Structure 1
Amino acid sequence: MTIPFELPEEDRELSPITGYTRAHWETVADGLLGAAWRWATPGGALLDLPGRPSGSGVRSDGLEGFARTFLAAGFRVAGAGGKDPHGWLERYAQGLTAGTRTPGRDDTESWPLILDHHVQGQPMVESASVALGLSLTRPWLWDQLDSDVQDRAETWLRGAIDHTPAPNNWYLFPFTVASFLESVGRGDEATTRAMERALGLMETWYRGDGWYADGDGRAFDHYNGWALHLYPLLHAHLSGDTALSARFGPRLREHLEGYSLLFGADGAPIHFGRSLTYRFAASAAVGIGAVTGHTPLTPGTSRRLISGNLRYFLDRGGVTDDGLLSLGWHGPHDATLQTYSGPASPYWASKGFVSLLAPEDDPLWTATEEPAPSEGPDRVLALPAPGLLVQSTQADGIVRLHNHGSDHVRPQEAESAAQEDPLYSRQAYSTHTGPTSRTNVADNHLSVVIAGVASVRRRLRPLGAGQGDGWGWAASSHLPVFASGAPMVPGVRVESVTVARGRYELRVHRVVGAPHGAGVRLTGWASDALSSQLHGLYGWGERDEVRAPQGTAYEPWVRVPRLSGTAEGTAVFVALASLSADEPSAPLADAVSEVIVHERELRVRWADGPQTVVAFEPVRVTHG
């Protein structure tokens, strides 16, 4: 793909893998900012980027354009020690002045008011970006404003503190606003409460292994990196709060032990969870780790990850011919989006530029690039706290994420098939494939079929995870829910176990309480460009392929392998799946020599010798 702004020459000596240097990051930031500012209102308060509006409306979308690009400008200028050759800060100062003059008015420039999340909440999200941009650039922007403009900006920002956030990472938005106000001597009891409230909630959401739940449920996704780790550590870094850094830094370090494996050898992050149109914001956790020193990664590995992630999207159409970030993944892709996605939403990718806070002589930019974790030997990593299992293969650089713990079902919600979310409900995700759309056949999914209606997977109940030398496992159970007829069938549940080894995925499902006439279907990876295989080992009857004409974020049209069987009472089903860049030399059927199923356990003998034992009630897996 052609990038509509000229990049510096690649440096293959310093960056032998990506060719990118710090200068590339600065150039991309400047290019994205220049393109976005062509759509500014006359006073510069709103950036009304072209495209369909979000559910919050065009005025909120315009504020989003201002605030999210301000993040990129803030990191760009602060990282350069205040040097601003393109005059970005003058534009944002003018926009701030115009936007806060009469907030809430329906005119050309006025910013919308910040209200409760369920009323008109999106401006609260953007207030954090405005506050963070002001924190980053305080000496060159805020300190130069007239006092009345400062007063107006404070009044507008305080809307985030005076109103109720959504019950998740949104509490970090008033936290960030309060952090800025306190840093400029405008703190009070309200700002203190906002910060204490957010930090207290962070403790309740921390689940271990370096992972936070995004709220009181079990939502584990990229928000860990670009929100839940980023905001507290940026506050600690900018304010010099060593106590807070000591509290949150080790968690980020542990998070990066596993998260750094979730980037493919081509730089792609795992296509999993919501807001994926933020793209290279996925590298923000790696960047803030390098900036603060809370990272297990060498500087060369950190830069390889962030630059690989940036280049991945630049090379694949993430930037339009007009220099704008498109709504989608590679290029535009509606199924990747949420209702809150508007034309400027992709500019949360600006968080990836946090790496520019490391000065040009920092080892992050001067060390020679080193391979990413996924470019090393085949690896399997179990993360019991979030219920995830990561599997990478060196031969093709593909990383797979087996999901047995992240469901994005809020605690107060009843389970409903109508709310099924392909970005969380599937059993497996990867750096090279995306889930099929809700209207097509579901990939990587076990469904119980009753009266012709196939179930979906909603609330997950993790049953354990672990790993050994070259292998690992994770397990969960769920209650099948149906879109028509009875929403649930009494007594029916599904226990699912994934055992990863090399390129192989042993998928075991135990269906309990199935009524007479029930069917069971299992699908594999959705791809036509890659080799997707699914082989039944026990309990399955037919095998076929199903078409998904709406495709995925990676391919416009795909096929999905499928196994079918029948169940009554308690039944066990065993299959072997794989996803690889090249057609394997040996079929999956040759990988396993024997499967023996007893009432409460099954034994799988691999062709090369080892045996895997999966026990039920409780679920335990051994291998050797």
Structure 2
Amino acid sequence: MPHPPFPPEDRVLSPYTGWTRAHWEAAADRLLGAALRHAGPEHALIALPGPRPSRSGPRSDALEGYARTFLLAAFRVAGAGGGDPLGLLDRYAEGLTAGTRRPTADRELTGRDPVSWPAVTDRGQAMVEAASVALALRLTRPWLWDRLPGPQRARAADWLAGALRHTPVDNNWWLFQVTVGGFLAEAGHHTQAAERAVEEGLARIERWYLGDGWYTDGRPRAVDHYNGWAFHLYPVLHAHLSGDPDLLDRHGTRLAAHLRGYAHTFGADGAPLHQGRSLVYRFASAAALWAGALTGHSPLTPGTTRRLASGALRHFLDRGVTDEDGLLTLGWYGPCPPLVQSYSGPASPYWASKGFLGLLLPAGHPVWTAAEEPAPAERADTVLPLPAPGWLVQSTAADGLVRVHNHGSDDQPAGEVLPDDPLYARLAYSTATGPVFEGTADNHFALLAGDEASERGPIRPLGAGPGWAASGHRPRVGGAALPGVTVTSLVLAAGDLEVHAHLVRGAATGTGVRHTGWAVAGQAVRTTSDGGRARARAERGQGTALLSEAVVLHGFHTARARRLPAGTAFGPSAAVPVLTGTVTGEECLFVSAMRLTGTDAAAPPAVRITAEAVPQGHRLLVRLPGGGDREVLFHADAVTVTPAPPGAGQG
């Protein structure tokens, strides 16, 4: 397939990104062209090269290559009203027919059967891919499905129907059944089972709805970007395509509520928040933005929607996410093995195809014709509480950085003990930093038991409000909670400044504590320590730098910066500031000021605090620069944050 050039930038229509609908079409064609060069016989399997297969095996990985690129092709062709100058649908129709001739269990696949797809089984990867195939067929039905001979349609429907009668993983996988069921019911195959699957799947996700447009992904507090392109995308698209106004009202209203906060999690450089699993899907983060515009359920203007979505796509394509052959890599920018889950194979990144949902909007839609408007992170400094996920979003217009303070998401299963996941358990995430996978954990408060630092484990949200968020946890060492020990944590945010407070109860006197700040990475890193302040500065190229700083305010006694030899997803050279202290009593409070900034500010604004024990627990007065002073009461199992009384703490 040809390698289409990108058209010239249009800085009148798109003053922030320069990109138009034509750029999205060219990007889609490039990604498809690179992947389809690896199609096998009869185009049924697309086996992309990679460092290793997924746990499901090479045949499943090749089905994944077919299904996820088919979804991208469907957006491309359906958005063009069936226009298909590259002959994409002929290829995928041939692959569908060949792949569903003799679906078999993986163990039965042999060299005598080079093209058939694995059958859908309980909790098997084929169920995931069936959803992409079904959605692609639904979108392209007039030009592909309806033109197939009846026996070929029946065989393909029988393969898809495996998703209706097998058990999904008990999380967002229920929506794969919804997606398959929606198509089969519309196409008149396995109708009763299909309609039942839609009803049951949508009912199942209700138990995970937290409110305000946020879901947890099966586990009690697992909140991440799956909200946008799984929990919202599938139900809203099904409701939109089926023409069900009541269903669209319910799920469209939730999507709009989600987007009010979600839009604030994109940096001015287009980067989405680096948090949660399956980050190799990258610009799939744009799917929810497009879904709101497509269905008319978005609080965003058309110009803001396109600015955010185009910014996300450009952010990655401009940073080399494809290899020398034009294939998406398993990583964030380049390859990054720590980001790769066991279920991920070489074609997994092509779920980024969901980010091209906007191509379903015709060229004359306002989302393509309106001038781009600034992203929320570019307009003004913002501190936005999101109580449902337990997050506090903090952004600064001067550098366009977005930070999300995490006092609600942990990915811990109910009734089980798992090690902290760095992509969920940290105190904060941003659009410019990634968590540390080896060595000293970033954005983490720990009790020290010899050489071992405690883990956070399950997080107990204690609220989020104007400028603050709080949570509690029982620190764990070696998978076991420290007997009788609790930590109550609070963050206050203003501008680029963060004030963190941790009240430790029940730890033995003399126990060491450690609080780490933001891990910054780049081409080179410099570190400095000066009394009660530690800094790490990463040079990111093109004259830009990222500064992470931590300052002792109360309880801690040492500040230093530590280099991280393994780096992060953002670069091979990294460092993190570290504060340490010691428990001195039954209740011991530790307070620090931290910041992450892309500006050249020499020092953080001054913060003054007063801390004291009171009958209710502990009282903290924080005087922030520019006003906004706060009084914090740490109760036995709660945190109260109120404006400080006039003159409080001024002596």
Normalising by structure 1, we get a TM-score of 0.95
**Kept in 1: contact 2:277–2:423 (CA 8 A):** yes
Aligned with 1:593 (options 608, 612, 617): 608
Report the counterpart of residue 614 of structure 1 in structure 2: 632
Report the counterpart of residue 185 of structure 2 in structure 1: 182
Aligned with 2:557 (options 538, 541, 554): 541
CA shift at 1:149, angstroms? 1.1
Deviates more, 1:320-329 or 1:208-217: 208-217
C-alpha distance in structure 2 between counterparts of 1:500 and 1:155, whole Å:
55
Matches within 5 A, 1:95-244: 95-104=95-104, 105-106=109-110, 107-117=113-123, 121-244=124-247
C-alpha distance in structure 2 between counterparts of 1:325 and 1:451, whole Å:
43
Cα shift readout 1:165-197 (whole Å, capped 9, x = no counterpart): 001000000111110000111243322221111
CA shift at 1:202, angstroms? 2.2
Identity of aligned residues (%): 57
**Kept in 1: contact 2:121–2:163 (CA 8 A):** yes
Deviates more, 1:453-462 or 1:359-368: 453-462
Report the counterpart of residue 35 of structure 1 in structure 2: 34
CA shift at 1:623, angstroms? 3.1
C-alpha distance in structure 2 between counterparts of 1:459 and 1:593, whole Å:
32
C-alpha distance in structure 1 between counterparts of 2:447 and 2:229, whole Å:
36
Change (3 A) 1:367 1:312: same
Amino acid at match of 1:480: P
C-alpha distance in structure 2 between counterparts of 1:569 and 1:453, whole Å:
21
CA shift at 1:4, angstroms? 7.1
C-alpha distance in structure 2 between counterparts of 1:234 and 1:602, whole Å:
48
**Kept in 1: contact 2:47–2:58 (CA 8 A):** yes
C-alpha distance in structure 2 between counterparts of 1:20 and 1:334, whole Å:
31
Please give the secondary structure, in 1, of the residue aligned with 2:595.
Answer: strand
Change (3 A) 1:504 1:289: same
Report the counterpart of residue 89 of structure 1 in structure 2: 89
Please give the secondary structure, in 1, of the residue aligned with 2:371.
Answer: coil
RMSD, aligned α-carbons: 1.4
Aligned with 1:580 (options 590, 597, 600): 597
C-alpha distance in structure 2 between counterparts of 1:40 and 1:72, whole Å:
15
Gap runs ≥5 in structure 1: none
Report the counterpart of residue 502 of structure 2 in structure 1: 509
Change (3 A) 1:188 1:607: closer
Change (3 A) 1:4 1:336: farther
C-alpha distance in structure 1 between counterparts of 2:624 and 2:35, whole Å:
55
**Kept in 1: contact 2:398–2:599 (CA 8 A):** no
C-alpha distance in structure 2 between counterparts of 1:452 and 1:511, whole Å:
19
Report the counterpart of residue 56 of structure 2 in structure 1: 56
Matches within 5 A, 1:405-484: 405-413=408-416, 415-416=417-418, 419-437=419-437, 439-467=438-466, 472-483=467-478
Report the counterpart of residue 305 of structure 2 in structure 1: 302
CA shift at 1:216, angstroms? 4.4
Normalising by structure 2, we get a TM-score of 0.91
Gap runs ≥5 in structure 2: 521-537, 540-545, 645-651
Matches within 5 A, 1:63-78: 63-78=63-78
Amino acid at match of 2:80: A
Please give the secondary structure, in 2, of the residue aligned with 1:508.
Answer: strand
Amino acid at match of 1:514: A
Matches within 5 A, 1:284-299: 284-299=287-302
Please give the secondary structure, in 2, of the residue aligned with 1:425.
Answer: coil
C-alpha distance in structure 2 between counterparts of 1:217 and 1:32, whole Å:
36
C-alpha distance in structure 2 between counterparts of 1:85 and 1:189, whole Å:
37
Are 2:276 and 1:270 equivalent residues in the alignment?
no
**Kept in 1: contact 2:280–2:349 (CA 8 A):** yes
Please give the secondary structure, in 2, of the residue aligned with 1:597.
Answer: strand
Aligned with 2:481 (options 483, 488, 509): 488
Please give the secondary structure, in 1, of the residue aligned with 2:356.
Answer: helix
Which structure exhibits the higher relative contact order, with contacts defined as CA atoms closer than 8 Å and separated by 6 or more residues? 1
CA shift at 1:504, angstroms? 0.5
Cα shift readout 1:256-290 (whole Å, capped 9, x = no counterpart): 00000100000000000000010000010001101
Deviates more, 1:450-459 or 1:368-377: 450-459
C-alpha distance in structure 1 between counterparts of 2:425 and 2:273, whole Å:
15
Cα shift readout 1:224-280 (whole Å, capped 9, x = no counterpart): 011000001111111111111011111111100000010000000000000001000
C-alpha distance in structure 1 between counterparts of 2:152 and 2:627, whole Å:
73
C-alpha distance in structure 2 between counterparts of 1:596 and 1:151, whole Å:
72
Amino acid at match of 1:621: V
Cα shift readout 1:559-579 (whole Å, capped 9, x = no counterpart): 110000111421100000000
C-alpha distance in structure 2 between counterparts of 1:141 and 1:40, whole Å:
19
**Kept in 1: contact 2:393–2:405 (CA 8 A):** yes
Report the counterpart of residue 565 of structure 1 in structure 2: 581
Please give the secondary structure, in 2, of the residue aligned with 1:43.
Answer: helix
Please give the secondary structure, in 1, of the residue aligned with 2:506.
Answer: strand
Report the counterpart of residue 605 of structure 1 in structure 2: 623
Please give the secondary structure, in 1, of the residue aligned with 2:510.
Answer: strand
Amino acid at match of 1:113: A
C-alpha distance in structure 2 between counterparts of 1:271 and 1:85, whole Å:
37
Please give the secondary structure, in 2, of the residue aligned with 1:546.
Answer: strand
Question: How many residue pairs align between the two structures?
Answer: 607
Please give the secondary structure, in 2, of the residue aligned with 1:91.
Answer: helix
C-alpha distance in structure 1 between counterparts of 2:625 and 2:9, whole Å:
46
